[in-house]
Amino acid sequence: MLASSSVLANDADSFIWWQWISRNSDEIWNATVEHLQLTLLTVAIGVVLAAILSAIAIRFRFTATPILWASGLVYTVPSIALFGFLVPRLGLGYKTALVALVGYTLVILVRNMIAGIDGVPATVKEAATAMGLTPWRRFWSVELPLALPTIMAGIRIATVGTVGLVTISALVGEGGYGALINNGLSRQNFSTPIVVGAFLSIVMALVLDLLLWATQRALTPWERAGRAGRGSRRERAHRSTPASAPAPATPVGSAA
């Protein structure tokens, strides 16, 4: 019988034991669903919370710095330490994981929401006001759409980051791919579930990022418009030439 470390044999000692995958497909599927649910819920809550915080920070500018500082502080705390802090208070399980995960999304979401709104050109805002848009209308139909690319970028980063962090939440008893990885780690050198868990979380991160990117593209058609053919000659074709007759040669190349 061949030694189990031979390249041809595929068993528990191999890098990926395919049979284990097919035997435990249910467990893998459940882990996927759990992981996805926790990720999406985290980002959803994070976006709502960040929107509230950003609104406060924009409306009352003096709060912007403390808010950004506080959310940055949460981000700096290592996740294991944060879980360690929360578990005695909230217990093991979903609530703890959610609180920590949402906390981690805040700094990027708040920062990008504020940056997005601040990034709207002042001349566009002035024109909107001068046209007679009420401040409410100006926010919803001008500022928010123009801030969207920056905000979406923040959501994408937060989502991908959350996918990774959910794995760690296995430490507090939450499933997802983290459970698979834990599974392998706890059974010395059983690499298959670790590889599967890690690989699938990468795939999930990529898929979600791609979906969000596609959504962003769909919501911002103007970003794609280029400077193709301006046809400046045609624009004057149907206008009659003005009455003034041959003028002296306009200075060529004069400075603007």
Partner 1 sequence: MSNIDGTAVVPAIRLEHVTKSYPGSDTPAVAALDLDVPSGELVALVGPSGCGKTTILKMVNRLIAPSSGRILIDGVDAATLPEHQLRRGIGYVIQQVGLFPHRSIRDNIATVPHLLGWDKQRTKARVEELCDLVGLDPSLLRRYPSALSGGQQQRVGVARALAADPPVLLMDEPYSAVDPIVRGRLQDDLIDLQHRLHKTIVLVTHDIDEAIKLADRVAIFNVGGILEQYAPPDELLRAPASEFVERFLGRDRALKRLSRLTVADLADAELQPASLNGHGPSLGAGVSLRDALDALLGSESGHLGVLDDEGNVRGVITVDVIGEHLR
Residues lying near partner 1 in the complex (CB under 8 A):
121, 123-124, 126-134, 137, 142, 145-146, 220-222, 225-228, 230-232, 234-239, 242-248, 250-251, 254, 256
User: Least CB distance from residue 204 to partner 1, whole Å?
Assistant: 31
In whole angstroms, give the CA distance from residue 85 to residue 171.
Answer: 13
Distance, CA of 254 to CA of 227 (rounded, Å): 25
Q: Judging by beta carbons within 10 Å of its beta carbon (0-12, 13-18, 19+), is residue 163 exposed, middle or buried? A: buried
Q: Rounded to the nearest whole angstrom, what is the least distance from the CB of residue 245 to partner 1 in the complex?
A: 4
Tokens 């985290």 map to which residue? 42
A 10 A CB-CB count for 86 gives: 19
**What whole-number distance in Å separates Cα of residue 26 and Cα of residue 3?**
30
Which pair of tokens denotes residue 53? 């915080």
Q: Which is nearer to partner 1, 97 or 117 (CB)?
A: 117
* 89/239 with CB nearer partner 1: 239
CB of residue 151 vs partner 1: minimum separation in angstroms? 14
Comparing CA positions, the residue from 217, 197, 89 lying closest to residue 153 is 217
Please identify which residue in the block is written with the tokens 């046809």. 231
- Nearest approach in angstroms of CB 233 to partner 1 is 9
Which residue lies nearer to partner 1 by CB, 88 or 248? 248
Min CB(86)–partner 1 separation in Å: 41
Q: Of 88 and 229, which has the nearer Cβ to partner 1?
A: 229
Q: Would you say 142 or 181 has its CB closer to partner 1?
A: 142
